[in-house]
Amino acid sequence: MEPSLNNDLGYPILIGDDLEDELRAFARRRGPVSAMLVDANPNLRPRIARVRAAIAAPSPLRVALSERRKRLATVEQTLDALLAAGVERSGLVVGAGGGVASDLFGFACGIYMRGVEYAHVATSLVAMVDAAIGGKTGVDLRGGKNLAGTFRDPVAVFCDVSALRTLPARAMREGLAEIVKAAIIEGGDFFEELEELAPHPLARWPWAHVIEMAVKVKTMTVADDRLEAGSRELLNLGHTFAHAIERASGFRVSHGAAVAVGLRAAGLLALRTGRFSEREYLRVLALLTLVGLPLQIPLEPRAIFTAMGSDKKKRNGRLRFVLPRSLGDVEYGIECDPRSVRAVLAKLSQPPGTVDARR
């Protein structure tokens, strides 16, 4: 398979099981690599050692990362490490890790000496299909997630599919939720292929192919609207609900689980407002279930509704949603009346089935 994905973003995205030749060629073309920034998780060491050998990078700068350390203080540590390593403004930095790494290292490199070139080796499913692609970088503030950052493109992204072998199941599910979302946006073969794969163990999935299908949805959507002024919102399918669920749970519910429930909620709201067919809604539920994602969440509907009021994507005080009309035909910017939204939220603590049919 040709590992470089054609895309309109202006930087190569390479997806494959063993990207060492591609990494070597990249370093030869763009190098030398001035520094390597890596997620310090010890489980990543073997993969990172191979990447480092391929790009002939100096000894990696290890940064302890976690969702809680996705903060400005960690950015400062990263900047200090780059300076101590003697990285110059004309330097090239290669980072490796999951979505926290691509967000935080990408941001640090975007502001270090007003910006050095940055390439990312994605090691988690979320980083491969979502976080490392599209140029959004940043960190959390005390007041909320991803509230400080920049739009800044990497010079290349490598989706190191073989790294997935050591990725914990929980992190795998986070990525699966975004893949199902992308498949609803794209419809057609992508959705059908996932339906065929879903009953099989994840270890047997043709991951390079699945990742490529999801990455295509992301690159095409982002290329149409790089600064998120409009159509990029499509990628927020399920996310107005998901963000509110995460907040209402005090972030005890993971983003992936919240997105899965959010996709059910978006489907329900679309059903209720007469835009989505029951048959396709049930296909979405079946796919989410088969890949092991949840459909219900034990939260007070009122708490979720209140949390929706503080969504950063809200415009002029009105709630807007991304809703499917059919698989492959998703619309954004749809205002819905609060009664319908509340009716949908009331169902999310119960399993689907007859309860969803009686809308």
* CA Rg value for the chain: 20
Q: Which of 36, 82, 119, 126 binds ligand NAD (CB under 6 A)?
A: 126
Minimum gap (Å) between residue 275 Cβ and ligand NAD: 26
The residue nearest ligand NAD at its CB is: 99
- Rounded to whole angstroms, the Cα distance separating 338 from 342 reads 6
In 3-state terms, what secondary structure has residue 320?
Answer: strand
Site for ligand NAD in 80-109 (CB under 6 A): 97-101, 103
Q: Which of 70, 264, 272, 347 binds ligand NAD (CB under 6 A)?
A: 70
Minimum gap (Å) between residue 140 Cβ and ligand NAD: 8
In 3-state terms, what secondary structure has residue 299?
Answer: coil
- Rounded to whole angstroms, the Cα distance separating 47 from 19 reads 11
- Rounded to whole angstroms, the Cα distance separating 122 from 279 reads 36
Site for ligand NAD in 129-188 (CB under 6 A): 130-131, 134, 136, 146, 163, 166-167, 171, 174
- Using the contact rule CB under 6 A, the part of the chain among 76-84, 125-133, 306-314, 348-356 near ligand NAD is 125-133
8 A C-beta contact, residue 195 and residue 283: yes
**What x-and-dash track marks residues 260-299 binding ligand NAD by CB under 6 A?**
----------------------------------------
**What x-and-dash track marks residues 29-58 binding ligand NAD by CB under 6 A?**
----------x-x-xx--------------
8 A C-beta contact, residue 33 and residue 93: yes
Of 255, 249, 217, nearest in space to 234 by CA: 217
User: Residue 27 or residue 132: which is nearer to ligand NAD going by CB?
Assistant: 132
217: Cβ contacts below 8 Å, ≥ 6 apart? 182, 183, 185, 186, 190
User: Pairing state of beta strands 156-160 and 117-122?
Assistant: parallel
Q: Which residues bind ligand NAD (CB under 6 A)?
A: 39, 41, 43-44, 67, 70, 97-101, 103, 123-124, 126-127, 130-131, 134, 136, 146, 163, 166-167, 171, 174
